[in-house]
Amino acid sequence: MKRKLLGIVPLVTAFMFMLTACGAPAAPDTPPGVTPPAGGTTQTELMVLTPSLAVSFDPIQSNDSASAEFARLIYSTLVLMDYDTFEVLPGLATSWDLPDPQTVNMQIRSGVTFHNGDPLTAHDVAFSLERAGASVQMAPILGMIDTVVAHDNYNVTIHLDIPFVPILRHLSHPAAAILPMNYLLEVGEDEFANAPIGSGAFMFDHLVIGDQQVKVRFDNYWGNVSQLERITFRVVPDPSTRLIEVSTGTADIAMGLAPGDLAGAEADPNVTVMRRPNLGTDFIWMNTQRPYLNNPLVRQAINYAFDTQAAIDVVWMGAGAIAHSPVMPIVWGFVEQPPFETNLDRARELLAEAGYPDGFSTSIWWNAPNVQRQQVSEMMQFTLAQIGIDLSIETMEWATYLERSDVGEHDMMIIGWTTVTADIDYALFPLLHSSNYGPPGNRGFWSTPELDALLEAGRAETDDAARMEIYAEAQAIIRAEAPMLVLRQGEILMAVNPNLRGLELNPNLSHNHATIWFE
Amino acid sequence: MDEKATNLLDVKELSIQFFLEEGTVHAVNNLSFSLKPGETIGIVGETGAGKTTTALGIMRLVQSPPGMIVSGSIEFEGQNLLDISEPEMRKVRGNKISMIFQDPMTSLNPVIPVIDQIAEVIMLHNEGTAKDAILKAEQMLEKVGIRIERAREYPHQFSGGMRQRVVIAIALACNPALLIADEPTSALDVTIQAQVLELMKDLKVEFNTSMIMITHDLGIVADICDKVAIMYAGNVVELADKYQLFRNPQHPYTIGLFNSIPDIKKDEETLKPIKGLMPDPTNLPSGCPFHPRCESAMPRCFEIVPQMVEVSQGHYVKCLRCTEGSAQNNKNEGGA
Amino acid sequence: MDNNTQNATVPKTKKPKKQSRFREVWKRYKRSPLAIAGLFIISCIILLALSAPFIAPSVDGMPGYNLQDWGNVRQFPSSEHIFGTDHLGRDVFSRIAHGAGISLRVGIVVITIGITFGITLGSIAGFYGGYIDNVFMRIIDIFLAIPNILLAIAIVAALEPGLTPVMIAVGIGAIPIYARTVRAQVLTYREQEFVEAARAAGASDFRIIVRHILPNCMAPVIVEASMGMAGAILAAAGLSFIGLGIEPPLPEWGAMLSEGRIWMLAGYWHLTVFPGLMIALIIFALNMIGDGLRDALDPKLRSGFSKRHFERLKVQAAQKIQEQSQATTVTKEGVA
Amino acid sequence: MHKYILKRLVMMIPVLLGVSFIMFTLSYITPGDPAQIILGEGATQAMIDQVRLDLGLDDPFLVRFVSYVAGVAQLDFGMSWATQRPVSEEIFARFPHTMRLAGMGIALALSVGIPLGILSAIKQYSIFDMGANFISLLGVSIPNFWLGMMLILFFTVNLGWLPATGFATPIQYIMPTIAIASASAAVIMRMTRSSMLECIRQDYVRTARAKGLSERTVIFRHALKNALIPVTTTAGLSFGFLLGGAVLTETIFAIPGLGMFMVSALFTRDWPTAIGGVLLIALSFSFVNLMVDILYAFLDPRIRSQYQ
């Protein structure tokens, strides 16, 4: 989870990019319900405005969402995911099987070439995956890959360190992109990151550092060749100005619309607003090893006190949806939990029951310059004052935020998480397993042996129904212990040119621009 | 009346005031004097007596705001300079009347080569090309004793005396009828002073220029002037032929001035400086402005402003005691 | 020096009595309408800061600037909320009122840091000179080579976001300017007679600096301080604006601007217009006070009085002259 | 003159050393582990130790500083902690935007400030003078970031005339240039006015008038040339101010320049980038000051002969 260069301007969508392990390309085939015209598109160049450019073009160097989005167009992965059904679809691999939870056999598509004309083979796959598996940055996603053996040009076997059933979904992550082994070894890693070559729908053209990055169509792409010839990503850090540029016609897509601009954008005839609930969530960790917050009754009281719907309305202008669990409804394994209905009296009762009828003092952290988190802190301060809790607000920047919360110096902190793999394991294991205290994700420092056991069993269970049961039990425990206050399920907000067609929003925040055409 | 016709310059009842926040400064009050062609008048007075303001008044260069010529007339070659338009006045300045300022260190533009500063005034008032003007300027430089090789140098490369020579060259470049020299040597070393004065005297004769020599140095007056006007608090208090004045000063202030000059032949004890200070020009005393410092002041001096009286042929004095007969005047005769 | 106004009048220098000096400065200060306006605006802002707890009192321990009303967010100005409400439904006017105190505090803390260290370093460097001074000037050069705002951002980055680090950072950034001003002043005073006298009387260096030199250096420091306070508030607002000085829920004006900015393009102009206006107003007022103080403390640099004032004086003078001339005619007749 | 320039260039070295020392010290006292910053969230202790070793983060302060300076001497500013790309590449890619913004800002400030300053000096005490003075006070007082926002509010949101962001086409230059230049224009105007007033009162101006020159010639040939000398210093200082002001202006108008980049670098504590950027700005500021001094010599023969 790499921090993002946030820019100075409070980015409204910062939460989306903060804790985002990014997604895989959707199926290269034409998305359902969209048919490009026979005569082709009226516009062949696409201008995308983004809060920031890819941090690195090497898919394993950085897992910010801009890098992932770049990687998705330039490279290909073995498998793809359908984000409506969360089914794993063939990509470079045409078929696969899992003889046991620690092994995957795959057959590689033939006739695929890289942008430089080299054929893509199983040796490239073995090289790329082993490299990704050893990557420090990608350890949470692909670190379980132990060795990869290429049997011939088109057959590989992936061996894992641990039993890990969700591996296929993880392989759809762009970090698992297949790179041209010979080219990379020849030019070295640094040069590869400057002039990347992949087998994706677009080829890297050029970069203007800090400003824009241009890709051109790859005509020998193994999937459907895009109708677009050129895709430019340009940096405009301020969300409102991104919107204005789309409205005035100088750009086609404004990524990450500011909630504050939502109403205006929806009323603007020159702009189409696209929305879709995503796999991200915003929540408040309550450090369960700190005084007061170590009491589950207190944590429940705070959950009852805070009006999350008001927060969604005031802070996010209604974008997103109420969520009662860190597991988003669209994630595989989700089981609905009873909500904490906002009720100050109930909160006071619980506090009294916990032994703090007169409240106490505690603190909440937020990271500048994330304005949404700032606003939530202020609302929380205002709310808790009403049940006698004196909440102080502490501001710090991202690196310190992580560093100090890694060692549990915080009481409460606001953070986000995106379950990019759309599998419940990735939603719960990093956040709530006791082996992941601190840096890997468990900043609530809460866990019980029973939850640990359930989470370990869940990732090794090959039978879907049995797996589902394990996770239902886990989610019930989390609801009862309330180590976190879930603020909402995130929502993708994007302003696009009204003539733009064929863009399917991906809940993991990385969208496939190759399928776009213009009417 | 005949006399008037032959005058080059006739200043009458000139009053100049400055309107400052501290109050109105009466810098020059009802000042009158005249000058014939080729004649040199010395204007003598303490610092703040209004000498420079008078000179600037004649040039119509009193800074406004805050200064203003409030009344009077300045007739030059039969024309009242206060009536003509500014463009017409510009044709007079530097051409018919030019001025030499006190401090040569600051009166030249530091960023323009000296030759250009001379040529500029020639170009302005004469027909001819820039080349002609430069040539003429070089002649002027030679005349004031500066080698032509130094023509393109800047003022800071010259000494004070040399700079004043350049200023003189500028002033005389257009052969003016009247030259106003405002303490032209007071900022210079004594030896240089003598050289510059000598140069001015020579050039004055050569160009047949009338001159107003403003100074506080009676020695210079004796050396160079034909007539003398003594100024006090914006007034001419005594105006006479040089010899008359030196021989027979009338006004108590003039007498005081002479007394404050050390005379090597006389005993030191006879040195009698004038007591007190120049009055605050924003708040001049009533009656005769000199009365607070005047040793022979009478009660009437506190009330009545004295008028100019001709005590003898061409010798004018502004003192109540002089208006009341010559008997009293004679008393002071020995004092001179 | 030979300015014709100064030639005509030498304003009297009064004895440096403390009371009269203050009165004199005030007399000159109040002549500038802009300076008076500046003082008036600052007084209003101070009054606003003092009355904030009454304008917007706290409710149930929640300060008046943080009374949220989630059902009533981003209301445009109305009779109920004259500046509207912000994104959390808080009254913008209440926040601005409470913010006044913060801005004033920021300004005061920053100049206190700047002046304390600036005076100490500047007077040491200026007084001892030589090697110390050389080193000091080189360090100042280094600091001045980094644009102030970048230096401040770097310092805040090394600390933590928040109002206190911002004040420290801006204060550190201000030190070189004060130090340089003080040094230049001390340099001019350290060789003067009164310092020599004090030294001869056996005063210690510390005593000489503190008792004899510094009091004489204060005029430019005071001017620098009022301008510097404006600069400090501006810099702090800038840092808050980019998110470094934000300490929610404190209503610092720069922070309010930053929080309101995301609503600007959605048309909620009141969230950016009012805090920005207040920042501009306080800086404007402080600059006007600084200008006025500079003119009042140093009449040489006076930016001048109004044309109207000049015209009025002119009219008065004209009347006076008329009266005088009538009076003289009368006396003349009387004498005759 | 050449010798002087060379001497001045050499004199820049200690200043730049000092700047890097200050910035390096700030980076050193910053709490937080650079390795953590480089690796981001999720780094294990082993990974952190490896990075610390690779970057020599456990070396003493002076050793690190000296090796940094040695690198800078070869134009190697190190690697960005955020992007893992060479800092020099990152900052030089963005620097032209900042220079263009500051350059256009100073051009506008001079072309507005000097004529207004002259006019209000020669019309001292007039309504125009008072108005210009008042406006210049406003110019100094209005925060440029707020002015930028108000310009956007008016010209983009209300009127829809100008694009809110970018700095590529002439129409995009308008608002950022105005926003960044306003304060400098005001400062330059005030300086020109007071310097002009000072010069108008000088004896040589009176000499020029006594020559019978027209007021226009007196002002433009005699007073202005002298009056501009102190204005060049102000302009040089303003340029430094503009380089700093670029930070906020670039933010508001989304100009991909060095200022905005450095702020985000400092926000993320990407110190190598921040130090490199500050050094580059300090260097260009020093260069501008050197140029101002050379211009000084060009304008003022007294200074010129000092150098010779």
Three-state DSSP class for residue B146: coil
Task: Give tens-digit pLDDT for C229-267.
Answer: 998 899 889 988 888 887 889 999 998 998 888 888 778
Which tens digits make up the pLDDT trace of B244-286? 877 888 787 887 777 777 666 655 555 566 776 777 767 777 7
Q: Which has the minimum average pLDDT: A7-21, B21-35, C32-46, D241-255?
A: A7-21
Number of helices (H) and strands (E) in chain B: give both, helices first. 12, 12
Q: Which of C198, C181, C180, C201 is nearest to C190 (CA)?
A: C198
Report the alpha-carbon angle C16-C18-C21, nearest 5: 65
Question: To 5 degrees, how large is the angle CA B94–CA B96–CA B99?
Answer: 45
Looking at this protein, which amino acid is placed at residue D123?
K
Each as own residue / partner, the long-range contacts of residues B271-278 (CB below 8 Å, 24 or more positions apart, any chain) are: B278/B46, B278/B47, B278/B48, B278/B49, B278/B233
Does the CB of C305 have a partner CB in chain D at under 8 Å? yes
Which 48-67 residues of chain B touch chain D by CB within 8 A? 56, 59, 61, 63, 65
Q: Which of C155, C264, C279 sits opposite D143 (nearest CB)?
A: C279
Is B192 a residue whose pLDDT tops 90? no
Beta carbons within 10 angstroms of residue A336's beta carbon: 11
How far does B117 lie from chain C, in Å, by closest CA?
Answer: 21
* pLDDT value of residue A27: 40
Q: How close is the nearest chain B Cα to the Cα of C15, in Å?
A: 17
Token duo for residue B169:
């060259």
Question: In the B/D pair of chains, how many CB contacts fall below 8 A?
Answer: 80
Interface of A with C (CB under 8 A): 8-10, 12, 239-241, 243-244, 258, 260-261, 263-264, 307, 310, 313-314, 366, 368-369, 371, 374-375, 377-379, 381-382, 385-386, 393, 395-397, 400
Residues in chain A within 8 Å Cβ distance of D260: 7-8, 237
Chain B residue with minimal CA distance to C328?
B305
Determine the residue type at A138. M
User: CB–CB of C265 and A377 under 8 A?
Assistant: no
If one counts every other C-beta atom within 10 angstroms of the C-beta of residue A40, the result is: 10
A378, A393 in Cβ contact below 8 A? yes
Residue from the list B25, B101, B323 with its beta carbon closest to the beta carbon of C8: B25
Instruction: Report strand pairing: A145-150 vs A155-160.
Output: antiparallel
CA of C61 vs chain D CAs: smallest distance (Å): 33
Task: Output the pLDDT for position C305.
Answer: 43
pLDDT confidence of residue C97? 94
- List the subunits that have 3+ CB pairs under 8 angstroms with C: A, B, D
Q: Tell me the chain A residues in contact with residue D265 when contact means C-beta distances shorter than 8 Å.
A: 5
pLDDT for residue A7 is more than 50: no
C316 touches chain B (CB under 8 A): yes
User: What is the nearest CA distance from B125 to chain D, expressed in angstroms?
Assistant: 8
Q: Residue C111 is encoded by which pair of tokens?
A: 């100049």
Taking the C-alpha atoms of residue A444 and residue A438, their distance in angstroms, rounded to an integer, is 8
Closest CA to B333 of B323, B304, B322: B322
Q: Which of A261, A385, A393 sits opposite C61 (nearest CB)?
A: A385
pLDDT score of B65 more than 80? no
Confidence category of residue D4, pLDDT binned at 50, 70, 90: confident
Which of A17, A19, A136 should one mutate to test binding to chain D, selecting the residue with the greatest count of D CBs within 10 A?
A: A136
Q: Is the pLDDT of residue C314 over 90?
A: no
Cβ-Cβ contacts under 8 Å, D142 against chain C: 280, 283-284
CB D253 within 8 A of CB D176: yes
> How close is the nearest chain D Cα to the Cα of A396, in Å?
10
| DSSP letter (8 states) at residue D79 | B
For the segment A437-460, the average pLDDT, to the nearest whole number, is: 90
- The pLDDT value recorded for residue A185 is 94
Q: Quick one: average pLDDT of A157-186?
A: 93
Considering only alpha carbons, which residue of chain A is nearest residue C63?
Answer: A382
Token pair recorded at residue D278: 């500050």
The shortest CB-CB distance from D93 to any of A6, A55, A209 is to A209
Nearest to B106 among D203, D214, D221 (CB): D203
Among the listed ranges A76-80, B176-180, C125-129, C330-334, which one has the minimum average pLDDT value?
Answer: C330-334
* Residue closest to C213 by CA, chosen among C193, C197, C195: C195
Whether the pLDDT of residue D7 is over 80: the answer is yes
- C292-313 per-position pLDDT tens digit: 888 888 654 443 444 444 555 5
- In degrees and rounded to multiples of 5, residue B241 shows phi and psi of -60, 145
State the pLDDT confidence band at A14, using cuts at 50, 70 and 90.
very low
Distance from CA of D25 to the nearest CA of A (A): 18
| Chain D residue numbers touching A7 (CB-CB < 8 A) | 251, 260, 263-264, 267
pLDDT attached to residue A431 = 93
Label the pairing between strands B40-44 and B210-215: parallel
Residues A487 and A308: beta-carbon distance below 8 Å: yes
Residues in A touching C258 (Cβ below 8 Å):
10, 369
Whole-number pLDDT of residue C279: 94
Q: What is the pLDDT of residue B271?
A: 59
C-alpha separations of A410 from A288, A393, A401 in Å:
10, 11, 9
pLDDT tens per residue across span A268-284? 899 999 999 999 999 99
| CB-based touch A/B (3+ pairs, under 8 A) | no
Query: What type of residue sits at position A27?
Result: A
- Estimate the share of chain B in helix, then strand, then coil, as percent rounded to the nearest 5: 40, 25, 40
pLDDT digits (tens, 9 = 90+) for B225-238: 888 888 888 788 88
Cite the DSSP H helix spans in A387-434. Answer: 398-406, 424-432
- C246:A385 CB<8 A: no
Which range is most confident: A66-75, B141-150, C194-203? A66-75
Compute CA distances A423 → A75, A418, A476, A485, B172, whole Å: 23, 11, 17, 21, 101
Calpha distance B186→B188 (Å, rounded): 5
Cα distances (Å, whole numbers) of residue D64 to A488, D74, D208: 46, 16, 62
Q: Which residues contact A337 (CB under 8 A, 6 or more apart)?
A: A324, A325, A475, A476, A478, A479
- What pLDDT band is residue C316 in, cutting at 50, 70 and 90? low
pLDDT band (50, 70, 90) for residue C93: very high
Give the burial class of B181: count Cβ atoms within 10 A of its Cβ; 0-12 exposed, 13-18 middle, 19 or more buried: buried
In this complex, do B93 and D222 lie within 8 Å of one another by their Cβ atoms? no
In this predicted model, which residue has the larger pLDDT, A150 or C206? A150
For D80-106, what is the mean pLDDT? 87
In chain D, residues 95-134 whose CB comes closer than 8 Å to chain C: 124-127, 130, 133-134
Give partners of D (≥3 CB pairs < 8 A): A, B, C
pLDDT at B206: 79
Spell out the SS3 assignment of B65-122: CCEEEEEEEEEECCEECCCCCHHHHHHHECCCEEEECCCCCCCCCCCCCHHHHHHHHH
Q: Do D222 and B109 touch (CB under 8 A)?
A: yes
SS3 A81: strand
Provide the pLDDT for residue C319: 55
Q: Could you tell me if D37 lies within 8 Å of chain C, comparing CB atoms?
A: no
pLDDT at C251: 92
The DSSP symbol for C74 reads T
* Alpha carbon of D292: minimum distance to chain B alpha carbons (Å): 17
* pLDDT attached to residue C8: 40
Measure the CA–CA gap between C23 and C25, rounded to whole angstroms.
5
pLDDT at A126: 95
Res. C322: pLDDT tops 80: no
The closest of C2, B194, B141 to D210, measured between CA atoms, is C2
B210, B58 Cβ separation under 8 angstroms? no
pLDDT bucket at C334, cuts 50 / 70 / 90: very low
- In order of C115, C135, C183, C209, the CA distances from C121 in angstroms are 10, 11, 8, 12
- Strands A361-368 and A412-418: what pairing? parallel
Extract the tokens encoding B252. 């108590």
With contacts defined as CB-CB under 8 Å, which chain B residues touch D225? 109, 111-112
Give residue for tokens 């005949």: B2
Whether residue C283 and residue D15 make contact (CB cut-off 8 A), yes or no, is: no
Question: Which chain D residue shows the shortest CA-CA distance from C284?
Answer: D141
pLDDT at A24: 34
Structure confidence at residue C146 as a pLDDT band (50, 70, 90): confident
Interface test with chain A among D33, D39, D41, D80, by most A beta carbons within 10 Å: D41
Question: What is the pLDDT confidence band of residue A79, given thresholds at 50, 70 and 90?
Answer: very high
- Segment C266-273 shows an average pLDDT of 88
Give the pLDDT of residue A389.
Answer: 94
| Size of the B and C interface in Cβ pairs below 8 Å | 72
- A393 in helix, strand or coil? strand
Task: Give pLDDT tens digits for B164-175.
Answer: 888 888 887 888
Determine the residue among C60, C70, C271 to mutate to test chain A binding: the one whose Cβ has the most chain A Cβ atoms within 10 Å.
C70
In terms of DSSP H, where are the helices of A290-407?
296-305, 308-315, 344-354, 371-385, 398-406
What's the whole-number mean pLDDT along residues C14-25? 63
- Assess C8–B contact: CB distance below 8 Å, yes or no: yes
